[in-house]
Amino acid sequence: MTTSTAAGPATRGPGRTTQPHRTSSGRAEPAVVTQGLSKRYGRDRLAVDSLDLVVPTGSVFGFLGPNGSGKTTTIRMLMGLVKPTSGTATVLGGAMPGAAGAVLPRVGALIEGPAHYGFLTGRENLARLDAADQTAAPATRRTRIDAALARVGLSAVGDRKARAYSLGMKQRLGIASALLCPRDLLVLDEPTNGLDPQGMREIRALIRQLAADGTTVFLSSHLLDEVEQVCSHAAVMNRGRLVTQGTVEDLRAAVRGRLVVETPDTDRAATVLTALKATAVHPTPTGVEAELGDVPPDVACAALVRADVRVRSFTTTGGSLEDAFVALTGEGFDVED
């Protein structure tokens, strides 16, 4: 479903600078805040359980979680598409779903994949959406459509029927729909789904540029590497509950780095590292790996050399977002939610 809402007159026009709502102390309010947000279906299924989420204004916020973790249900509640069972959701200063009429014109969203008329061209699809915006001046409609197509790299195929678009092109058209006018908040569900590596790089660059222009981007993705590259903040959901949230840097830092040693003396190296109180020590086809914890890498290397371990290579890797995800949820990452 593609949700494309229109900005009001005060927020329209190219080059607009986002003006976030501010507290009495002058600090920018978070773009999204939830408190105790819950959604129950029937008696047995609690899809979202007491979610307390804070999305800083101006951030690129990655929303992560395995299959059935409650990500999509949360997004639907934020957009006013689903009414919460309990708790509150505040988006751009407005309590949802009651404030949807005032809030959604400042939000662009691409949720659960793009939906367009296949018998219309990409340009005609965007024209239909723009015409539905009562604040959009018809005289400048073509300019807005051209700009949106250009931002997602579809200018050359704008006059092609949407049914002839590849999955990646349809995804780009969905993002263009959300960018017909400037947005204070952009909600993207799997925005690089179906894109080739070059297309993924272009969309990542677009997201960074939108954030630099002042748009808060809320990004749900199963591609942890993508989130790690483009997001400043992230939250991890599991089984309907919030596991953790914070900056991507802090989430990575919470995971211990790994040591990778290439050596033919696997058993001796493992004995030395175990004596140093390294954890998760296990052999590999070329040597041994371990989590060093608080052991400095130079101390571990010196100990191996003193023990006459033939060290062919000695490398350390910092914790990745994927390491953090697995450590927090105890499971791998599934594509569907």
Share the mean pLDDT of the chain: 85
pLDDT at 190: 82
- Asked if 130 and 166 count as a contact pair (C-beta separation under 8 A), the reply is no
CB atoms within 10 A of CB 25: 5
d(CA 204, CA 108): 17
pLDDT higher at 89 or 194: 89
Confidence band of 66 (pLDDT split at 50, 70, 90): confident
d(CA 31, CA 197): 30
Asked if pLDDT for residue 71 goes beyond 70, the answer is yes
Q: Which domains does the chain have, with CATH numbers?
A: 2-252 (3.40.50.300), 255-328 (3.30.70)
| Chain-centre distance for alpha carbon 110 | 12
Q: What is the pLDDT of residues 23-59, one digit of tens each?
A: 444 567 999 999 999 999 988 889 999 999 999 999 9
Asked if pLDDT for residue 137 goes beyond 60, the answer is yes
- Asked if 252 and 95 count as a contact pair (C-beta separation under 8 A), the reply is no
pLDDT at 13: 38
Asked if pLDDT for residue 187 goes beyond 60, the answer is yes
Q: Which amino acid is at 103?
A: V
Q: What is the pLDDT of residues 262-277, one digit of tens each?
A: 999 999 999 999 999 8
Least reliable range by pLDDT among 12-16, 132-136, 162-166, 168-172: 12-16
d(CA 260, CA 316): 6
pLDDT at 306: 95
- Determine the average pLDDT of the residues in 84-107: 94
Confidence band of 319 (pLDDT split at 50, 70, 90): low
Task: Provide the b/e sequence for 71-109 (b: ≥16 CB within 10 Å).
Answer: bbbbbbbbbbbbebeebebbbbbbebbebbeebbbbbbb
- Determine the average pLDDT of the residues in 93-117: 89
